[in-house]
Structure formats: C-alpha cells, structure tokens
Amino acid sequence: MSMQDQAQAEIEAEMKAVGSTTQPLQQNQSTLPPKAEIDVQHVILVLSGKGGVGKSTVAVNLATALANHGRRVGLLDLDFHGPSIPKMLGIESRVPTVSADGIEPVRVTGNLAAMSIGFLLSSPDAPVIWRGPVKMGVIRQFLAEVNWGTLDYLVVDLPPGTGDEALTIAQLAPNLRGAVIVTTPQDVAVLDAVKAVKFIQQLDIPVLGIIENMSGLVCPQCGGTVDMFGRGGGRKAAGDHGVPYLGAIPLDPEMMRSGDQGRPYILQQADSPTWRAVDGVMENLVAEVES
Ligand SMILES: Nc1ncnc2c1ncn2[C@@H]1O[C@H](COP(=O)(O)OP(=O)(O)O)[C@@H](O)[C@H]1O
Ligand SMILES: [Mg+2]
C-alpha cells in the first residue's frame, strides 16, 4: 500500500468512526430533520470556499439592497466563530430582546432585521467554542425561535467552507432558493469555490451564481487598475461548471471602510465604477431568484 493509500484508508477509518464521509451525500428523506417553521418566501445562502473573500460584505449589501427595494428581509449570521454582521451594520451594541413571540431580532430598519451570535456574546472578542451538535441547536433556535415575522427574504451569511453550519441550514431552512458563491479571482480561491459549488449541487440546491470579488484594484492615486489577485477566475469557474456568473466587484478601499464603519456600501449611492458593479451584481442576483 502506498503512503497516500495508507493515509486515505486511515482518514476514512477515522471518519467512519464518527459517522462522517467524503462520499457524495445521500439525502435520505426519512432521516432528514423536519424543516424549521419560519414564514419566508426565499432563503438565500451566501457561501465560499475560503474566508476573507467577501461573503459578509455581499450578505450585508444584498440584504440592504433587497430591503431598499421594499422587501421584508432577515439577515442571519451563522458565522459563529467570526460574526461580522453586527459590526458591518453598525449595530454591534444592540441586544435582542425576548417577547411573548420569542427572541426579537435586532431591527435595522422597518423591513430589515438581523440575528447574530455576536449580539449575545459577553464581549466582542469572546471566542465561541462549540462542537457541531451545539451549532445545530443554535441554528434551529435562530430559525424557529426568533420572531422574524413574515419575510420575503432570509439572507444567510455562512462561515467559509462546506461544514456543519452550511449543511444544517440547508436541511432546516424551508423555501431554499439557492446559494451564492463568493470567490476572489486567484486559483487558490477558485479551487475551493468550486468545492462549494459541488457541495450545493450535491444537496440539490440551485447555485444562483458566482460573484468574483476583489477583482482588480482601482488605484486611488492614478485611477488605473491593478489586478491584485488576477482576474476572471470566477467567470471561468461559472462557465466551466454551468452556473450563472453574477459579475465582478473591484477591490476598493471604500468598501473596506464602509464595512468597518457599519454603513453598507450600497447605501452610499456614490456614482463610482465600484458602486455600479455592486449594484449590478445585486440586480443580477435578485433577477436569478425572482425569475
Ligand atoms: N471589494 C472589496 N474591496 C475592499 N475591501 C473588501 C471588498 N470586499 C470585502 N472587503 C473587506 O475584506 C474583508 C473581508 O471581507 P468579509 O466580507 O468579511 O469576508 P468573509 O465574510 O468572506 O470572510 C472585510 O474587511 C471587508 O470589508
Ligand atoms: Mg464573513
């Protein structure tokens, strides 16, 4: 047996012992948990292969864009180990309250509400140290015990990769319309984005499309473009795997600042190439969902 075969056999034995697998998921209807009771028309997952590629940025801007279009929107942060939503929406000091109807999500505007573990931690730098089953319980609570009311959209911000959180929300959420995959252009990110595409396809969930973020840096001094992480990797992956390409968003210091300052970039209404790119990507995405 080669070293590689031996390592593979050992990994598979370990995984079997804990009931896990690298084989295609078998969605056995009789063993799936029941869907959570939540009144929502479209649930959209925001996923990526890697961290730091812009999932939370996309989730915040998508939720805000939808709310601006008059939709009733919930934004659910399932990145328990790195919850970014409270800060990116400028609501990190808010605390969910409990009413007779359940846990009240934090209201950002009349038709946009958010829920995140970040609201419930004793301090912003407190780590969350949970195993899979605890996360599954919390995800169920965040769906069924939060008083979302009637929603047109629930946008779900996920941690990177194809782990417990993504699998659990895929099983529990009703009316799952699909997943958006965010990637940066370079091969090391695109490779993992393709894994996320295949994961979603194995679960029989539509891939709404791939977004290529940080696609070229617009130089604030000269206005020229620097292809920091290359260009075109997201478009190519979408073409290769037969899923929609939703467009590219440049690397722009204004986007980073708006995240740090808690003001969604899309609200700035700056008539810049970056703003038009973000707006275009959001329009393409809404068209995919509502078509
Ligand atoms: N197009 C962009 N231009 C500049 N900064 C960006 C862009 N997209 C995301 N960022 C910044 O990069 C960092 C990581 O983005 P984030 O959305 O938190 O990624 P993820 O959720 O995938 O880990 C954040 O500081 C965010 O503000
Ligand atoms: Mg994030």
Share of the chain above pLDDT 70, in %: 95
Residue 277: partners with Cβ closer than 8 Å, 6 or more residues away? 247, 248, 249, 250
Chain centre to alpha carbon of residue 201: 16
As beta bridge partners, residue 213 has 249
For residues 239 and 286, what is the distance between their CA atoms, to the nearest angstrom? 20
Other residues' Cβ atoms within 10 Å of the Cβ of residue 262: 14
Q: Whose CA is nearest to atom 1 of ligand 1?
A: 251
**Ligand 2 centroid to 160 CA: how many Å?**
8
* 59 pocket-lining for ligand 1 (C-beta < 6 Å): no
Atom number of ligand 1 nearest to Cα 215: 1
Q: Considering only CA atoms, which residue is closest to atom 17 of ligand 1? A: 54
Residue 156 has pLDDT above 90, yes or no: yes
Query: Ion ligand 2 — residues with CB under 5 Å?
Result: 55-56, 79, 84
Q: Is 103 left (phi over 0), alpha (psi -120 to 50) or beta?
A: beta
| Of 259, 229, 219, 285, the residue nearest 60 (C-alpha) | 259
What is this structure's pTM?
A: 0.92
Ligand 1 within 6 A of CB of 189 = no
- Which of 112-126, 177-191, 209-223 tops mean pLDDT? 177-191
Among 106-115, 220-229, 234-243, the range scoring the smallest mean pLDDT is 220-229
Q: Is the pLDDT of residue 16 over 80?
A: no
- Cα 94 to Cα 63, 114, 124: the distances in Å are 18, 11, 12
Is residue 18's pLDDT more than 80?
Answer: no
Residue ranges of the domains in the chain?
A: 39-290
Provide the H-helix boundaries in 69-145. 85-88, 132-144
Distances from the Cα of 132 to the Cα of 79, 84, 168, angstroms: 13, 20, 9
Beta bridge partners of 74: 113, 154
Are residues 215 and 249 in contact, defined by beta-carbon separation less than 8 angstroms?
A: yes
Report the percentage of the chain scoring pLDDT > 90.
Answer: 77
- Cβ neighbours of residue 93 closer than 8 Å, sequence gap 6 or more: none
| CB of 207 closer than 8 Å to CB of 75 | no
Q: Which residues pair with 99 in a beta bridge?
A: 102
CA pair distance 205, 157, nearest whole angstrom: 16
Q: What is the largest CA-CA distance in the chain?
A: 63
Q: Is 214 in the pocket of ligand 1 (CB under 6 A)?
A: yes
Taking the domain 39-290, which CATH number applies?
3.40.50.300
Hey, whose CA ends up nearest to atom 13 of ligand 1?
A: 52
Q: Is the pLDDT of residue 63 over 80?
A: yes
Atom 25, ligand 1: residue with shortest CA distance:
256
Does the C-beta of 159 come closer than 6 Å to ligand 1?
no
- Find the ligand nearest to 229 CA: 1
Give the residue carrying structure tokens 């009349």. 110
Tell me how far apart the alpha carbons of residues 108 and 247 are, in angstroms, rounded to a whole number.
27
The structure tokens 């609570």 sit at 141
Looking at the CA of 255, name the nearest ligand. 1
pLDDT single digits (tens) 75-87? 999 999 999 999 9
Q: Is the CB of 53 under 6 A from ligand 1?
A: yes
